[in-house]
Copies of this chain bind each other. A is one copy, B any other.
Amino acid sequence: MAREIRLNAFQMNTPGHSWPGLWRHPRDRSDGFARLDFWTDLARLAERGLLDGIFIADTFGLHDVYLGGADAALAAGAQVPIHDPALVISAMAAVTRHLGFGLTTSVAYEHPYILARRFSTLDHLTNGRIGWNIVTGFLDSAARAMGEAGALDHDERYARAEDYLALVYKLWEESWEDGAVLRDKARGIYADPAKVHAIRHDGPYFRSEAVHLCEPSPQRTPVLYQAGTSPAGKRFAARHAECVFINGHTRSSVARTVSDLRRQATEAGRDPSDLKVFLGATVIAAASEAEARDLVEEYRPYVDPAGILALMSGRLGVDLGAVGLDEPLTGIESNGVRSIVEALTRTDPNRTWTPRDLTRFAGAAGRGPFIVGSAVQVADELQDWADETDIDGFNLTRIVFPETLEAVVDLVVPELQSRGAFKTSYRDGPFREKLFGHARGRLPASHPAKRGF
C-alpha cells in the first residue's frame, strides 16, 4: 500500500500571496480575491479534487521593511490589501460538504474569549470542518497598527501563546459538558444550567471568568495548525499542533525538521502520528513535461521580484534592498540572511548568491519544492518527497488561479489515486476525523488541552 499523500490549497485573502505579481497573468483571477465567487469557486474546485482543506494564511500588517517602506508591497499587491479570512468561510461551507478550512488567526491582538467564540461558531456553521492555524504575530507594522511600539520578542510571543491556549482550551473543552444542551421542547429546557460552567483563568497574560458563549460544536477545539520552525515554534507545535505547516528547500533539511517535530511530540507525551506535517510546494502540472515547462516560462515574467523581496524582508525583519539586486547577500548583516545563504551554498558551493536569486520563480531559497511536469512526473516527485521526508502532504501555493489548481485536481490527483496514494472519497465526520481516523472528532486524551497544564 502506497503512503497516503494529502493536499491543501494554500491561500490568503489578498491579490499576491506566495508568488506576488501573478495576478497580472491574463488567465489569473487573483485580483478578484475580495469577491465571494473567488472563494466559492475555489472551494468547489478543492472539494472536487478531494483536497483535505483550504489553508488561509493571514497577517495584521504590511511588509514595510524592504527599502524602508511598503511601496514595493503595495505596487506588487504582495500580501496587501489583506482582507479578513474568517469571513469567507461560511460561503465556502455552504457550497461544499467535506472540505476543511484552516483559518489563520494571531494570538497577539484579540482576547481569547472572542477568538474562542469565532471558532466555535465556525465549527457549527461548517458542521465540524474548521481548523485554526495559530500564529503569534511577528510584524512590527501590525503592532504599530494596534497602538503598540513593536512586536513582542520571539520567546515572549510563545509564552503569551501558551497562556492564550490554556484559556481557549478551557472554554472549548470544559465550559459546556456533553449533554448540557437538551433542547427539550416538552420540559422547556434549552440547556441544563447544572452542566454549564463558568471557567476561571488567571494567567500571566490573560484573565477571564465566564461561560463560553457557544454550545459545544462538533469538534469543540478546532483542528490545531501551527507553522513556526524556530526552536520555540517547534516546541510549541510539538506540544499543541495537530497539523504543522513547514517550508523547506532540501529533502534532508525537511526530513530533519519532521523527525525533530515527531520526536518532540513523543517527548510531550503524544503519538508522533498525531502530527500531520504539510510542506509548502509550488506544483505546475500539465499533460506533458514540455507543456508544464512551457507554462513555467509563460508564468515567469509575471512574478514580481520586488514583491517577493518585500515579503522576505518583512518576514526576516531585514531590508534585502540594502544591497543591489545583483550584489552578494553576504553584504547584509542578519542571521536570517546568513542561514538562507548557507542553505543556498549547500546546493551550489561555488556561486555568489544575490537578492535576485531569492526571487527566481523556480527553486528560490526558502520557498519549498518547485515541482513541474506531467501527472506521472509530479506524482513521482510528491511521493519521493513524502517517502524521503516523512511528511504527510503538501500545501499547494497559489500560482495562476484557477488553472494550476485545476491541473492538480484533474491530472495529479487521479494519478496518485491510481497508485493508491490518494483517497478516492472523503471519510465521513468532522475535519479531525477525516485527518486522523474513526472516532477522533475531538482531541485525544494525550493532548495538553485534555490533560490540563
Instruction: Report if A146-B113 is in contact (Cβ < 8 Å); known contacts: A94-B91, A124-B35.
Output: yes
What does the 1/0 interface line of A36-78 toward B look like (CB < 8 Å)?
Answer: 1001100000000000000000001110000001110011110
Query: In the complex this chain forms, how many copies of it are found?
Result: 2
- Residue from the list B84, B91, B185 in contact with A93, Cβ < 8 A: B91
- Residue from the list B84, B118, B147 in contact with A117, Cβ < 8 A: B84
- A145 contacts B36, CB within 8 Å? no
Flag whether A215 is at the interface (Cβ < 8 A).
Answer: yes
| Contacts of A179-197 to chain B: CB distance below 8 A | 181, 183, 185, 188-193, 196
Chain A interface residue count, Cβ-Cβ cutoff 8 angstroms: 77
What does the 1/0 interface line of A1-37 toward B look like (CB < 8 Å)?
Answer: 0000000000001011000010110100001001110
Residues in B with CB closer than 8 Å to A397 are: none
From A182, which residue of chain B is reached at the shortest CB distance? B75
From A28, which residue of chain B is reached at the shortest CB distance? B185
Query: Whole-angstrom distance between the alpha carbons of A61 and B111 in the complex?
Result: 14
Min CB distance A431 to B, Å, is 16
Flag whether A232 is at the interface (Cβ < 8 A).
Answer: no
- A189 contacts B124, CB within 8 Å? no
What does the 1/0 interface line of A88-112 toward B look like (CB < 8 Å)?
Answer: 1111011100000000000001110
Which residues does A use to contact B, with CB under 8 Å? 13, 15-16, 21, 23-24, 26, 31, 34-36, 39-40, 60-62, 69-71, 74-77, 80-84, 86-91, 93-95, 109-111, 113-114, 117-118, 120-122, 124-125, 127, 141-142, 144-147, 181, 183, 185, 188-193, 196, 206-211, 213-215, 217, 304
Given A34-B217, A81-B191, A91-B91, 5 more A-B residue pairs with CB atoms under 8 Å apart are: A16-B190, A34-B215, A83-B213, A86-B87, A144-B208
In order of increasing CB-CB distance, the 8 nearest A-B pairs are: A77-B190, A147-B207, A145-B210, A90-B91, A71-B193, A34-B124, A84-B121, A83-B121
Pull 9 A–B residue pairs with CB atoms less than 8 Å apart, ordered by A.
Answer: A35-B124, A81-B213, A83-B121, A83-B213, A84-B122, A91-B94, A141-B210, A146-B208, A147-B209
